[in-house]
Amino acid sequence: MSADTATPFASLTCYDATTARWLARAGVQCLLVGDTAAEMVLGYPRTIDMPLDVLIALTAGVKRGSEQGGGTVVMGDMPFMSYQASPDNAVRNAGRFLTAGLADIVKLEVDSTLAPLVDRMVRAGVPICAHVGSRPQRVAITGYSAAGRTASEAERIVADARAMQDAGCSMLLVEAVPEAVTARIMDIAKVPVIGIGAGSACHGQVLVLQDLLGLTDTAPAFAEPVAALGQAIKSAGEKWVAKVAARQVGPSPYRMRDAAPPKARSGHEQA
């Protein structure tokens, strides 16, 4: 993907091989195995609860599934504390996403202070997507909120994006910022920019799949569902419950091959 892409490309989060296969067949160009799996798959209330080893395993599953569907770019998302503790640990974990996780590119939430780390990862051979703007892994400090709504915040985010490009990132992801901030980032962009809640000007757009499919009870304001699969799953479950209760599952399709079924014994034989 190049920064001069004329047609915006589509990205969605994905956490399993079966869904990846179908999304690849749909033509989705990039699948993000996000730390949102903590909420969508594991049932945690925050993304920062996502275990590293689990996310690496999910990333590999998505890659294998996407290849079954024709292939697409798969992005692994470095979870909380997988890169903040030390540079050595960070580079090692990023490399695991490429090897064990089969990822094509690795994403981490950053500001300009992490430019040396991104530079080191890139020099080690890891393609990086730098996530700027709203950063959910800082929820314990900031809560879930938009970013860049003051002049000083906007300047900082644009500076973050510039620093990441200078450090060699292959892609930028901009989350939950005003369109004026997005426009300034697009003006300086030399790599593809993915937006989420950042307006339509970006080279690509990403959403959490469950928000798009109508599976979440409360979706963000920028995520408009295109389906109502939550209700469809509920309806299917209700039909199955009724079918089982009415003993309408049907007979077993399997038959004995080389022996007659055992005869029922009489009451005298049982005694």
Long-range contacts of 249-254 (CB under 8 A, 24+ apart): none
Q: 54: closest CA among 31, 67, 37?
A: 37
Residues carrying an active site annotation: 175
Task: Kindly give, in sequence order, each residue whose CB lies less than 8 Å from that of residue 129, ignoring residues fewer than 6 positions away.
Answer: 75, 105, 106, 107, 108, 169, 170, 171, 172, 173, 194
Distances (CA, A) of 61 to 55, 64, 74, 79, 175: 10, 5, 10, 17, 26
Give me the helix-helix angle, 52-68 and 17-25, nearest 10°.
40
Question: Considering only CA atoms, which of 216, 82, 79, 58 is closest in space to residue 139?
Answer: 79
Sign of torsion, CA 196 201 205 211? Answer: positive
Beta-strand pair 204-207/193-196:
parallel
Residue with tokens 């064990």: 100
User: Which residues lie below 8 Å from residue 239, measured CB to CB, with a gap of 6+?
Assistant: none
- What is the spatial distance between Cα 118 and Cα 165, in angstroms, rounded to a whole number? 10
